[in-house]
């Protein structure tokens, strides 16, 4: 029998957030950020992220009070340097061990086992990178919660990022073994780990999702992707592969080289057009899965007395993504503030809440703040954007 946590929040008809930012003000931050980032060869990027976050946080309200972002560019920069140092040291140690293994194996006449040992060592190195990549997601969420204030109260997060990273790698391997059929389960379980470790002040977040509720949209997305790929590559082979096979005996070597079939020149355009068409169709189908996932997470999340819900639909998400892609392409990236503005409006319009937080009962979190928690996230370029 399903618990109360398995049902969408009843009566959650009021928007959880109110966003009142302006595109013109975002450009007032974006243009100087862009110029300074170019002038400093990318070093100012961390301060640029901080300026954008401070604006976005300050223009998002909950229960008529605005959020505040207290992170600094210096924290992000130092975290990035520390993470980059860790990655370089890991790479150097791996290379040194590989060289030592090969040298030792040669000295003792065991060259046949040197190559397998080096391969094993490289696999261990990449496994550590995977663990750090998953751990970086956990650490980044902890940092942002630590640096987010509402009524002077900050967020917090408990637990080990490395343990989360190990769990993430284990889930990933299970997902590969099952031919990615566990993707919804993996996504929800990792989201559950992060949310259930999170808090705001003395209020704990809670989440328990069910993969079966989003499996059908995921399966449809996967089947469409596989089907389109098969159809596309079969069509390309029939059109161009067979033409090459039939023309091969007649090809003459000349001073200019071989003379392939005339329609082979169209191959790059066909490939580009086919990939673009597949991307659009997959984007359409994927929107149903991503929207279902967003609703599953929101509809079964709580924060103390608050219960959340989402009204996001596949078509709204598709319009957002297609619109954002077109804006970025047409403006050569200069439309990024418009993209941020559109994303924030969609979030505020579709995230609903029932219940209210009594400020008199809200107390400061006891979780330790982390000043360098987002370094690995930035070093591995996991952010996917300026925020």
The secondary structure of 341-376 as a DSSP string is HHHHHHHHHHEEEES---GGG-----SPP-SSTTHH
- The mean per-residue pLDDT over the stretch 10-35 comes to 90
pLDDT interval class at 337 (50, 70, 90): very high
d(CA 84, CA 81): 5
User: What are the pLDDT digits (tens) for 114-168?
Assistant: 678 888 888 999 999 999 999 999 999 999 999 999 999 999 999 999 999 999 9
- Buried-exposed string 242-264: b where 16+ CB fall within 10 A, e elsewhere: ebeeeeeeeeeeeeeeeeebeee
- What is the predicted pLDDT for the residue at 384? 44
User: What are the pLDDT digits (tens) for 49-108?
Assistant: 999 999 999 999 999 999 999 999 999 999 999 999 999 999 999 988 888 877 877 776
- What is the predicted pLDDT for the residue at 264? 58
Please tell me which residue, 323 or 252, carries the higher pLDDT value.
323
Helix or strand run (H / E) with residue 267:
helix 267-299
- What is the predicted pLDDT for the residue at 309? 95
The tally of CA atoms less than 13 A away on the side-chain side of residue 255 is 0
pLDDT interval class at 5 (50, 70, 90): very low
Q: Do the Cβ atoms of 127 and 338 come closer than 8 Å?
A: no
pLDDT interval class at 366 (50, 70, 90): confident
Look at residue 30 and tell me whether its pLDDT is greater than 90. yes
d(CA 45, CA 231): 43
- What is the predicted pLDDT for the residue at 48? 95
pLDDT interval class at 282 (50, 70, 90): confident
pLDDT interval class at 2 (50, 70, 90): very low
Look at residue 233 and tell me whether its pLDDT is greater than 60. yes
- Name the average pLDDT for the chain: 85
- What is the predicted pLDDT for the residue at 199? 95
- The mean per-residue pLDDT over the stretch 234-243 comes to 66
Determine whether 14 is exposed, middle or buried from the number of CB atoms within 10 Å of its CB (0-12, 13-18, 19+).
exposed
- What is the predicted pLDDT for the residue at 261? 54
Share of the chain above pLDDT 70, in %: 83
Look at residue 386 and tell me whether its pLDDT is greater than 60. no
pLDDT interval class at 344 (50, 70, 90): very high
CA dihedral 161, 165, 170, 171 (to 10 degrees): 90
Look at residue 252 and tell me whether its pLDDT is greater than 80. no
pTM over 0.75? The answer is yes
Q: Give whichever of 2-11, 86-95, 282-291, 369-378 has the largest mean pLDDT.
A: 86-95
Q: Is the four-CA dihedral 211, 213, 216, 218 of positive or negative sign?
A: negative
d(CA 32, CA 48): 9
- Write down the number of H helices and E strands in the chain: 12, 11
- Cβ–Cβ contacts within 10 Å for residue 223, how many? 11
- What is the predicted pLDDT for the residue at 262? 53
Q: Do the Cβ atoms of 70 and 147 come closer than 8 Å?
A: yes
- What is the predicted pLDDT for the residue at 12? 52
């Amino acid at each position: 029998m399903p618990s109360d946590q398995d049902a969408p929040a009843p009566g959650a008809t009021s928007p959880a957030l109110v966003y009142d930012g302006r595109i013109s003000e975002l450009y007032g931050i974006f243009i100087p950020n862009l110029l300074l980032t170019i002038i400093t060869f990318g070093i100012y990027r961390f301060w640029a992220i901080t300026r954008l976050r401070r604006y976005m946080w300050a223009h998002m309200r909950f229960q008529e009070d605005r959020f505040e972002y207290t992170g600094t560019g210096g924290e992000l920069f130092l975290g990035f340097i520390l993470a980059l140092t860790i990655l370089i040291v890991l790479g150097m140690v791996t290379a040194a061990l590989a060289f030592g293994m090969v040298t030792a194996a040669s000295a003792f006449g065991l060259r046949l086992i040197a190559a397998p040992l080096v391969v094993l060592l490289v696999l261990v190195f990449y496994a550590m990178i995977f663990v750090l990549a998953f751990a970086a997601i956990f650490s980044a969420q902890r940092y942002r919660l630590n640096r987010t204030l509402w009524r002077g109260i900050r967020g917090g997060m408990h637990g080990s990022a490395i343990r989360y990273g190990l769990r993430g790698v284990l889930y990933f391997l299970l997902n590969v073994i099952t031919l990615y059929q566990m993707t919804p389960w993996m996504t929800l379980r990792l989201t559950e780990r992060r949310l259930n470790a999170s808090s705001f002040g003395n209020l704990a977040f809670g989440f328990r999702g069910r993969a079966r509720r989003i499996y059908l949209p995921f399966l449809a997305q996967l089947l469409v992707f596989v089907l389109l790929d098969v159809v596309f590559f079969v069509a390309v082979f029939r059109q161009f592969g067979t033409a090459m096979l039939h023309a091969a005996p007649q090809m003459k070597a000349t001073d200019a080289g071989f003379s392939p079939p005339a329609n082979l020149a169209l191959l790059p355009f066909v490939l580009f057009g086919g990939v673009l068409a597949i991307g659009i169709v997959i984007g359409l189908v994927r929107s149903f899965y991503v929207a279902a996932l967003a609703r599953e997470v929101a509809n079964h999340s709580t924060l103390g007395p608050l219960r959340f819900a989402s009204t996001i639909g596949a078509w709204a998400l598709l319009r957002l993504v297609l619109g954002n892609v077109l804006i970025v392409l047409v403006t050569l990236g200069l439309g990024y503030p418009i993209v941020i503005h559109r994303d924030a409006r969609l979030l505020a319009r579709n995230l609903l809440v029932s219940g209210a937080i009594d400020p008199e009962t809200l107390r400061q979190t006891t979780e330790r703040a982390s000043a360098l928690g987002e370094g690995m996230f930035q070093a591995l370029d996991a952010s996917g954007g300026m925020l």
